[in-house]
Amino acid sequence: MSVTAAGASDSDSSTAGGVWFGSASLSGAGYSGLANHGSSITAEEMDFSGAAQALAGSANLAVVSLSLVDITFVAQGFDGSSILDVSWIVGLSETETGGAAFVSVVLTDLTTNTVRLALSDDSIASGNVSLDSGRSYRLEIRADASVGNGGAALASYNASFTAIPAPGAMALLALAGTAGLTARRRR
């Protein structure tokens, strides 16, 4: 999996500061932008953990918080394979008392504009998805929390996407391990 990630992270401002970021309240300071705590991207794995929390500060204050992951990447199969299999596990949570919270994960094939994975609301799920090599994909994870005259709201996510080596690559690893054991026994 080849990941393009330009820009910096910005975990509590009112403007987008990079590829994944959180934005602050639109009117006031009763928010927490918790965008990229625990998030990381490597060549073969993408992990994201974040949240948006809104706490009412006064009777006349509307508070909105946002945590957003917006990643575009190109799928590259192992050893020239035309398919990249990706294992995923996602946990989404919403809690609100006098407010509103929303959280979602969407993976879209940008070549065909086809949604390959979509989850929202309170959910824990896992599975595999096959991606076509050479195509661009967009991963969007969004957590929104808002309150009006009182209350609190929290939307959080944990998501992990891991490239699965092709069966041929696994066979080579097994062969290398067997050769190592055989060489060790001969000593």
Share of the chain above pLDDT 70, in %: 62
Q: What domain range is 93 assigned to? A: 2-186
Reported as a single tens digit per residue, the pLDDT across 79-123 is: 778 888 989 999 999 988 888 889 999 999 999 999 999 999 888
Domain count, the chain: 1
Reported as a single tens digit per residue, the pLDDT across 14-25 is: 333 333 333 333
| pTM for the model | 0.70
The C-alpha angle 161, 163, 165, rounded to 5 degrees, equals: 155
Select from 111, 114, 162, 167 the least CA-distant residue to 134. Answer: 111
